[in-house]
Amino acid sequence: MSDTPTLVRAVDTSAWQHPDGQPIDWGAVKSSGVGAAIHRIGQGLGYVDPWAKIDADATLGLGMPTACYYVAEPATTTVADAVHACLDMLTARDQGCFLDIEPTMIEGLSWADLSQWIRDFMAGLRAVDVVPGFYTDVSMFQSLAGCPWGERLWIAAPSYPPRFAWSIRQLAPASVPGIAVPVDIDQWWFPC
């Protein structure tokens, strides 16, 4: 087995890729050259993405590496509550779960407090054998000391050159056969 990472084209999906309840044709997606998928499982304490399990079952059934992501709200949610909500929503453990924190979800937190919140969240996933990762953009990545703290990093960096330290690099949205609306395209290095 080679120690050199292999670059795989991936997509990350959510209910937004299912306009009017339209399912994704994962066979067509895979046939177009997409080799992996990341599905949003939910946000905060109450929103569960209704397509997460359906999409994860489909991609796993096609033999595609599959991860999920959970959108946290650290400014208004304790770490313990967020970990519990994420685990309740978790649909696929194949490639673990990425924590997604958007800039609008951190008002009032210092960078140090946010950094600790993230590390504690990822430790909560690790405690139950879920491989964690962290999704962010370049600005937040540069503001969080020590990021990604030895964990996998999925970074929104379409205009930056890829780096092996990044497990996944999110590019710009594009049209993909089998998905009714544009979807974020990712470059995923395996193994990560």
Q: What tens digit of pLDDT does each residue of 128-153 get? A: 999 999 999 888 988 888 888 888 88
CB contact set of 80 (below 8 Å; sequence gap of 6+): 124
What is the per-residue pLDDT for 150?
A: 85
pTM: 0.92
Any domain includes 1: no
Greater confidence, 190 or 99? 99
**Domain of 22?**
6-190
What is the CB-side half-sphere exposure of residue 78 using CA atoms within 13 A? 3
Does residue 31 carry a pLDDT above 50?
yes
Any domain includes 40: yes
Q: Which amino acid is at 129?
A: D
Mean pLDDT score, 95-113: 90
Any domain includes 75: yes
Any domain includes 144: yes
d(CA 92, CA 115): 26
Say which CATH number the domain at 58 has: 3.20.20.80
Any domain includes 116: yes
Q: Are 117 and 109 in contact (CB under 8 A)?
A: yes
Any domain includes 184: yes
151: left (phi over 0), alpha (psi -120 to 50) or beta: beta
Domains of the chain: total: 1
Any domain includes 146: yes
